[in-house]
Amino acid sequence: MNNERSKAEEDLRVIRSLMERATVYRAISAPAALVAGLLSIFAAGAIYRRPVHGRVFADVWLIVLALAVVTNAFFIWREARTDGRPFISSGMKLALRAIAPNLLIPAAVTVWFFTTGYKGAAEQELVVTWIAFYGLALLSTGLFAPRSLVYLGCSFLLSALAIPAIRNVIGDLPANLPNVAMGVTFGLYHLVYAVCAWPRERAEEIEQFAVE
């Protein structure tokens, strides 16, 4: 009982600390979102020019995911080193515990796609799952993350719900819809988020320097 109470108190302390540092994490997430957005736009454009399907389609986007994750980890590591905090902090552990459950189904669907799903041209099902659960992963951090991340998560989730609805209304959709959906969500949405969440202090310093 005492251990559970101590753990709950520790979680509350970590959540309070994360809420206090929300502005800092917002500043970190902006450049990471910019890189992820640019990578996604580049990948979507390349696939649009030279269409690929099945496993190759998934491979391309998983490479983009890996690069985006490494970039985000680098920005978090750099900020932690600047503040003299450990890279794998209690706050990161809490965030990972919140996000992890939302990664199980996408991981399972991805494995299914690589084994048998690709044979039925199931790129749309794969993409909808990725978009939806990425949105849910962002929403799961809403208790301590910046509000802008919650808005971004809602945008992803609503987009994932809209794709099947559009299919029911229109019927036959373009074959490149999965790629377009990835470019719009992981590309355009991240770029918009980066612009909106970019650290204002840096922008103000640039404007002041320009005036001088």
Nearest to 33 by CA among 149, 143, 164, 118: 149
Distance CA 79, CA 96 (A): 18
Q: Which residue type does 92 have?
A: M
For residues 79-97, average pLDDT: 75
Are the beta carbons of 55 and 122 closer than 8 angstroms?
Answer: no
Are the beta carbons of 184 and 31 closer than 8 angstroms?
Answer: no
Distance CA 114, CA 134 (A): 19
First-to-final CA distance of the chain: 62
Helix, strand, coil distribution of the chain in percent, nearest 5:
85, 0, 15
For residues 140-163, average pLDDT: 87
For residues 200-212, average pLDDT: 41
Are the beta carbons of 178 and 58 closer than 8 angstroms?
Answer: no
Are the beta carbons of 122 and 88 closer than 8 angstroms?
Answer: no
Distance CA 156, CA 84 (A): 34
Distance CA 69, CA 67 (A): 5
Locate 138 and state its tokens: 């962002």
Predicted local distance difference test score (pLDDT) of residue 28: 57
Where residue 209 falls among pLDDT bands split at 50, 70, 90? very low
112: pLDDT strictly greater than 80: yes
* 210 or 199: which leads in pLDDT: 199
